[in-house]
């Protein structure tokens, strides 16, 4: 930039002036910015398009929840504090829950909050949510059979500020708070409890049929994106922001809710989210600098451009580079139900051999340019949390070709480095290949991964090379993220099913923040994509749901870290944020993908 400026400059004075400007910009400067609004870059293809907090799964996304709905409709309990996964008492709408002595009921006491129309937020608003979600659970994204709201038998309103949930059985306080109460969002019953736009507000939610009719009406209203800022329903909010305008392409403008009862009131006069068609388009705007036309204040460096030179170029323009770690883990499942490869994957020694050939540090360094972190088990090692055990903070299976080769050889495989290893000692003895693995079985598999990410391409190419050192051949192919997800389901009788391994990226623990694995690795769980089943794992997962101690979590995660229900891979950041250096109050970034524009101000 300096040389370009000097080329354009004609005199020494002009040159010095430019240099001074560049230096000031690159230092973050003591200058001030005369702005009262801020813009936030949406990720490509993720414009907000569903406003009802009780979202269906196809609308269950960061764009719709944490970066849209939560700005206007606050959850009962807020998670995310100081950049860590923990309850945020200050931002929660209720005091800490009180459990009965037998653990079969929990009482919630609300703090003093009002809706933007001046009406108090009451326990009736929580009950309204409860009734809607119970009667429409199959339409609710976070529903998992047997869990919330199935485990709430009844709700008792004690007073306008207190209610009690009666539970089907005692649950652990951590599990119930982080995974069940975390999902509740009080809704303005006095405005939304109606079945048509012209109908009167009533108590329709008190019967299942009525609650279904109310949900149907609200869902239909939520299908008209362009009317969100004019429809009277959505004008009543309890969060710090109200909608000023929104269009169907994703341009969203928020203004402060002057009635917000929370502890931090917005300082900006407007907060805007802007859509992008592609990472390239966003990056082009970043390169225009924070004062360029349509400049972004809170954007991101695309992963494909995450090299030092590009990072430096953008930060020199006046942006601050801040990688954003999410509450997520990365892995790929091996298909235990594949008739050919499934019996091989079911052998723990074979999974250990594969995991020992995953050179996470090299992938992070070479494929992700350092912008990723290792995964050693089901609980993320970043960000710092109380949930990661001491054992899981180190790699149980560090990269070790010799160990991987030894594991195969000691279990009846003839290892052919650079070629394909074969099972030459079938059987179930300790030194044989294992149940269901026939003589001549080949260590040759197909791995399909999500396309469009150069870092994935580089990582997978290196992984293929690493596996070949122990004679494990993988044939790589790519497909769209959605297709990879679609393929990764357990085989069913009568349906063709040939996949061996599918890699799509990460699993995000949200809005069930307690990383119990009940949705992922419990026998028969909805998202158990490779049909992993282990009675001990089931028992440990159940213990995480009923124990009040984090020790139960440690036992569960240590076991799965060793048992390898999937192969752990490096986890990428949520995004590599580029934030206008003059924009204050943006950090630390929330691992649960929440944003707090009410904290932002200009220096």
Partner 1 sequence: MTGYIIRRVIQAVFITLGVTLLVFLLLHLLPGGPARAILGPRANGVQIAQFNHDNGLDQPVWTQYWTYVQHLATLDFGYSYKLNQTVGALLAEDLPKTLVLVGLSYVLAIVIAIPLGIYQAVRRNRIDDYVLTGASFVFYSMPVFWLGIILIVIFSEILRLLPSEGPQGATVGDLFGQFTSLILPVVTLALGTVALFSRYMRSSTLENLVQDYVRTARAKGASEMRVLFFHVLRNALIPILTLIGLSISFIFSGALITEALFNYPGIGLLFWNAAIQQDYPVILGVVVVTGLATILGSLLADVLYAAADPRVRYTKA
Which positions touch partner 1 (CB under 8 A)?
4, 45, 49-50, 57-60, 138-139, 141, 143-145, 222-223, 225-226, 247-249, 251, 274-278, 280-282, 284-285, 287-288, 292-294, 480-483, 485-489, 496, 504, 507, 519, 525-527, 529
Q: What are phi and psi of 191, to 5 degrees?
A: -120, -35
Q: How far is CA 141 from CA 60, 472, 599, in A?
A: 6, 39, 29
User: 3-class SS at 301?
Assistant: coil
Q: How far is CA 556 from CA 325, 347, 515, 569, in A?
A: 23, 20, 10, 19
Residue 307 contacts by C-beta under 8 Å, 6 or more apart in sequence? 369
Cα–Cα distance measured from residue 396 to residue 522, given in angstroms and rounded to the nearest whole number: 22
565: closest CA among 333, 339, 329, 347?
333
Of 449 and 596, the one with the shorter C-beta distance to partner 1 is: 449
Q: How far is the CB of 473 from partner 1 (least distance, A)?
A: 23
Q: How far is the CB of 4 from partner 1 (least distance, A)?
A: 7
Of 413 and 504, the one with the shorter C-beta distance to partner 1 is: 504
Q: How far is the CB of 427 from partner 1 (least distance, A)?
A: 35
Of 509 and 554, the one with the shorter C-beta distance to partner 1 is: 509
Of 113 and 271, the one with the shorter C-beta distance to partner 1 is: 271
Q: How far is the CB of 385 from partner 1 (least distance, A)?
A: 21
Of 94 and 317, the one with the shorter C-beta distance to partner 1 is: 317
Pairing label, strands 84-87, 79-81 = antiparallel
Residue for token digits 């019967």? 207
Of 2 and 393, the one with the shorter C-beta distance to partner 1 is: 2
Q: How far is the CB of 33 from partner 1 (least distance, A)?
A: 19
Extract the tokens encoding 189: 């019953």
Of 246 and 408, the one with the shorter C-beta distance to partner 1 is: 246
Q: Cβ distance 472 to 447 under 8 Å?
A: no
Q: How far is the CB of 486 from partner 1 (least distance, A)?
A: 3
Q: How far is the CB of 370 from partner 1 (least distance, A)?
A: 26
Q: How far is the CB of 119 from partner 1 (least distance, A)?
A: 28
User: 3-class SS at 238?
Assistant: coil
User: 3-class SS at 409?
Assistant: helix
Extract the tokens encoding 27: 């230092």
Rounded to a whole number, what is the largest CA-CA distance in the chain?
85
Cα–Cα distance measured from residue 384 to residue 370, given in angstroms and rounded to the nearest whole number: 18
Q: How far is the CB of 59 from partner 1 (least distance, A)?
A: 7
Cα–Cα distance measured from residue 415 to residue 406, given in angstroms and rounded to the nearest whole number: 9
Of 50 and 128, the one with the shorter C-beta distance to partner 1 is: 50
324: closest CA among 118, 20, 15, 43?
43
Of 105 and 528, the one with the shorter C-beta distance to partner 1 is: 528
């Amino acid at each position: 930039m300096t040389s370009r400026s000097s080329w354009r400059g004609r005199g020494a004075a002009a040159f010095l002036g430019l240099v001074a400007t560049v230096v000031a910009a690159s230092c973050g400067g003591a200058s001030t910015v005369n702005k009262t609004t801020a813009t936030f870059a949406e990720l490509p293809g993720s414009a907000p398009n569903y406003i009802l907090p009780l979202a269906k799964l196809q609308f269950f996304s960061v764009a719709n929840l944490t970066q849209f709905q939560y700005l206007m409709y606050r959850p009962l309990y807020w998670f995310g504090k100081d950049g860590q996964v923990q309850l945020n008492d200050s931002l929660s709408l209720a005091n800490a829950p009180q459990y009965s002595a037998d653990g079969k009921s929990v009482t919630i006491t609300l703090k003093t909050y009002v809706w933007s129309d001046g009406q108090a937020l009451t326990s009736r608003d929580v009950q309204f949510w409860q009734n809607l979600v119970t009667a429409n659970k199959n339409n609710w994204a976070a529903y998992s059979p047997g869990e919330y709201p199935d485990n709430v038998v009844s709700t008792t309103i004690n007073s306008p500020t207190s209610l009690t949930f009666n539970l089907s059985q005692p649950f652990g306080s951590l599990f119930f708070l982080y995974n069940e109460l975390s999902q509740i969002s009080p809704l303005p019953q006095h405005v939304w409890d109606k079945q048509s736009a012209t109908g009167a507000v009533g108590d329709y939610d008190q019967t299942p049929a009525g609650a279904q009719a109310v949900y149907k009406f609200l869902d239909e209203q939520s299908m008209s994106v362009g009317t969100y800022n004019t429809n009277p329903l959505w004008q009543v909010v309890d969060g710090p922001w109200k909608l000023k305008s929104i269009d169907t392409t994703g341009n969203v403008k928020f203004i402060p809710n002057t009635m917000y009862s929370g502890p931090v009131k917005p300082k900006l006069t407007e907060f805007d989210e802007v859509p992008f068609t592609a990472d390239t388009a966003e990056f082009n705007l970043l390169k225009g600098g924070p004062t360029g036309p349509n400049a972004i204040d809170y954007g991101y460096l695309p992963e494909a451009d995450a090299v030092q030179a590009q990072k430096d170029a953008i930060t020199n323009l006046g942006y601050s580079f801040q990688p954003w770690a999410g509450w997520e883990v990365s892995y790929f499942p091996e298909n235990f139900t594949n008739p050919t490869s499934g019996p091989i994957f079911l052998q723990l020694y074979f999974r250990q051999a594969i995991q020992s050939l995953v050179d996470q540090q090299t992938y992070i360094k070479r494929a992700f340019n350092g912008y990723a972190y290792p995964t050693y088990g089901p609980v993320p090692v970043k960000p710092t949390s109380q949930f990661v055990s001491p054992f899981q903070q180190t790699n149980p299976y560090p990269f070790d070709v010799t160990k991987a080769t030894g594991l195969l050889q000691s279990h009846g495989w003839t290892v052919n480095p650079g070629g394909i290893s074969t099972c030459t000692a079938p059987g179930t003895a300790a030194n044989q290949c294992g149940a269901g693995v026939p003589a001549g079985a080949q260590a040759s598999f197909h791995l399909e991964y999500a396309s469009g990410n150069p870092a994935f391409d580089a990582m997978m190419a290196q992984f293929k090379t690493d596996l070949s050192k122990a004679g494990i051949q993988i044939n790589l192919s790519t497909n769209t993220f959605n297709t990879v997800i679609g393929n990764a389901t357990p085989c069913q009788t009568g349906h063709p099913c040939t996949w061996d391994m599918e890699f799509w990226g990460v699993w995000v623990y949200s809005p069930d923040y307690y990383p119990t694995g009940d949705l992922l690795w419990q026998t028969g769980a909805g998202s158990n994509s490779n049909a992993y089943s282990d009675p001990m794992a089931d028992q440990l997962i159940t213990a995480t749901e009923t124990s009040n101690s984090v020790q139960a979590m440690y036992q569960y995660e240590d076991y799965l870290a060793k048992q390898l229900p999937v192969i752990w891979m490096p986890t990428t950041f949520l995004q590599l944020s580029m934030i206008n250096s003059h924009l204050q109050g943006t950090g630390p970034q929330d691992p649960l993908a929440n944003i707090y524009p009410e904290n932002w101000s200009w220096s």
